[in-house]
């Protein structure tokens, strides 16, 4: 995540291939999810990492929870505007807001992220 944030800060556009289990904070890997529940999102910065006490940390061994912004399914992470069918709005809103406000345990991105692409 630090590498991705660094590239984003340098002005690169970052696309992440993630599993929907990332939002629920689920850890673990299921090869079937790659075909059923994975999709590309745009990384929008805002990386924050906190330790078990909720204090900010850059020491990877101490990181308990990570927070970051993404754009997905036509949603704007800043305005919350969505371009999708009404039934999906609540699911998408939860997805974007969870990563930004509640964060997820560090084990979830480790096991639910399949890679990323970066470009200027």
* Chain mean position to CA 21: 11
- Please check whether residue 106 is in contact with residue 67, taking contact to mean a CB–CB distance below 8 angstroms: no
User: What pLDDT, in 10s, does the model give residues 37-60?
Assistant: 677 888 889 899 999 999 999 998
- Please check whether residue 14 is in contact with residue 116, taking contact to mean a CB–CB distance below 8 angstroms: yes
Global pTM value: 0.72
The total domain count for the chain is: 1
Per-residue pLDDT of the chain (120 residues; tens, 9 = 90+): 899 999 999 999 999 888 766 665 666 666 666 666 677 888 889 899 999 999 999 998 999 988 888 877 654 445 655 544 455 555 556 566 666 667 778 877 777 788 899 998
Q: Which domain holds residue 56?
A: 2-119
Residue 7 backbone zone (phi > 0: left; psi -120 to 50: alpha; other: beta): alpha
DSSP state of 5: H
Checking DSSP bridges between strand 13-19 and strand 113-119, what pairing results, if any? antiparallel
Please give the C-alpha separations between residue 106 and each of 50, 62, 71, 88, in angstroms, as whole numbers. 10, 10, 20, 26
C-alpha dihedral, 81 to 84 to 90 to 96, nearest 10°: -60
């Amino acid at each position: 995540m630090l590498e991705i944030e660094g590239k984003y800060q340098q002005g690169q556009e970052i696309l992440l291939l993630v599993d929907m289990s990332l939002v629920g904070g689920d850890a673990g890997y299921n090869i079937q999810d790659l075909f059923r529940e994975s999709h590309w999102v745009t990384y929008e910065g805002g990386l924050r990492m906190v330790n078990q006490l909720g204090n900010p940390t850059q020491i990877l061994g101490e990181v308990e929870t990570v927070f970051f912004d993404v754009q997905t399914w036509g949603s704007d992470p800043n305005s919350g505007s969505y371009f999708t069918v009404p039934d999906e709005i609540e699911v998408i809103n939860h997805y974007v807001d969870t990563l930004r406000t509640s964060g997820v345990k560090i084990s979830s991105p480790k096991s639910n992220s399949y890679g990323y692409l970066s470009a200027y």
